[in-house]
């Protein structure tokens, strides 16, 4: 998975159209950023939803399952077994690290400390940095087939960023009008497509590519305390780095993080998830629930699918500290 460019990881990202643009706000969202040709959502998206409160104990206990699920789903989209997809999910709680985080000299001790404090930990196959996961954070992924020869993915980042903003506008248009894209220095997992209100970040966007498909993923901090989450991640880095200022890792300032609910936006995960669905439908997208696809075609990918569990085990073995 790749993050948009930051001081911690140099990467890339995409564009957008839709109701937020028609309201005259899309230019403000990407103020000061180079514009590119517009990108549109597919006319049909299969909708997979995995809210934290509906997970089994096994699913809630393994932080890599959502990432493994998207790996398997991405392979199937690339193979033409399933149409493009929208995945909305949350997790009961933990901290997921990027690869570079796991290589800090005292990362294992820092992860053990988090586990002892009640936070699950995992390392994802990602160029990004550490982020918290909990019931107040809504994760949104677009899983799309890759066009032959496609190299520039900036439009995809912009596409998802605008969808994220439109979802906030569904219930809180005044707050959504203040959303801006651009790296927030001092935030955790910083990148060019951080989304913020008043300079306080509530969303980051990353991407993972495969040969035939890719997914663009956003974590959206909806409810709870942004500052407390920032303190959690800052504490991880303080331990993992051993205080060595020469190391390359994000210098997190907790005051740069906020939840949408603290910024005048929606303050409940379920409300924001509904906003994502509404924003897609306003763009003319036909959302097909995964259950309906199963009835129509027999395609049935679940968190409990053996392929997903095997992928999670492989990720754990390959990327564990």
User: Is 189 a residue of the active site?
Assistant: yes
Residues with Cβ < 8 Å from 101, sequence gap 6 or more? 107, 123, 129, 130, 236, 237, 240, 249
Q: Is 299 helix (H, G, I), strand (E, B) or coil?
A: coil
Write the burial class of residue 285 (CB in 10 Å: 0-12 exposed, 13-18 middle, 19+ buried): buried
Provide the 3-class DSSP secondary structure of residue 100: helix
Distance CA 71, CA 210 (A): 9
Q: Which of 74, 85, 189, 203 is catalytic?
A: 189
Distances (CA, A) of 103 to 132, 190, 215, 225: 18, 18, 25, 28
Please give the structure tokens belonging to residue 287.
């959302």
| Number of helical (H) and strand (E) elements in the chain, helices listed first | 12, 12
Cβ atoms of residues 210 and 139 within 8 Å: no
DSSP readout, 39-67?
A: ----SEEEEEEE-GGG--HHHHH-TTHHH
Rounded Cα gap, residues 232 and 209, in angstroms = 29
> How many CB atoms lie under 10 A from the CB of residue 116?
8
Cα 135 from Cα 320, distance rounded (Å): 24
Catalytic residues: 189
């Amino acid at each position: 998975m790749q993050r948009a460019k930051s001081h911690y990881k140099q990467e890339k990202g995409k564009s957008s159209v839709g109701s937020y643009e028609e309201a005259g706000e899309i230019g403000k969202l990407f103020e000061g950023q180079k514009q590119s040709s517009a990108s549109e959502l597919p006319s049909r998206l299969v909708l997979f939803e995995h809210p934290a409160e509906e997970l089994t104990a096994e699913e809630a206990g393994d932080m890599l399952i959502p990432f493994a699920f998207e790996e398997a789903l991405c392979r199937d989209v690339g193979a033409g077994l399933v149409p493009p997809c929208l995945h909305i999910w949350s997790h009961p709680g933990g901290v997921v690290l990027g690869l570079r985080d796991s290589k800090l000299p005292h990362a294992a001790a820092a992860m053990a400390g988090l586990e002892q404090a009640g936070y699950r930990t995992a390392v994802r196959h990602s160029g990004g940095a550490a982020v918290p996961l909990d019931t107040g954070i809504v994760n949104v992924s677009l899983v799309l087939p890759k066009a032959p020869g496609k190299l520039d993915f900036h439009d995809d980042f912009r596409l998802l960023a605008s969808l994220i903003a439109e979802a906030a506008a569904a219930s809180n248009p005044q707050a959504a009008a203040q959303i801006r894209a651009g790296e927030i220095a001092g935030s955790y997992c910083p990148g060019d497509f951080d989304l913020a209100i008043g300079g306080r970040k509530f969303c980051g966007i990353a991407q993972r590519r495969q040969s035939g498909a890719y997914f663009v993923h956003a974590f959206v901090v909806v409810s709870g305390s942004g500052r407390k989450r920032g303190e959690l991640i800052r504490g991880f880095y303080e331990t993992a780095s051993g205080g060595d200022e020469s190391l390359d890792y994000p210098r997190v300032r907790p005051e740069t993080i906020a939840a949408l609910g603290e910024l005048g936006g929606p303050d409940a995960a379920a409300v924001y998830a509904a906003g994502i669905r509404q924003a897609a439908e306003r763009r003319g997208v036909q959302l097909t629930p995964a259950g309906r696809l199963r009835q129509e075609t027999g395609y049935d990918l679940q968190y409990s699918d053996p392929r997903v569990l095997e992928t999670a085990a492989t990720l754990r073995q390959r990327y564990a500290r």
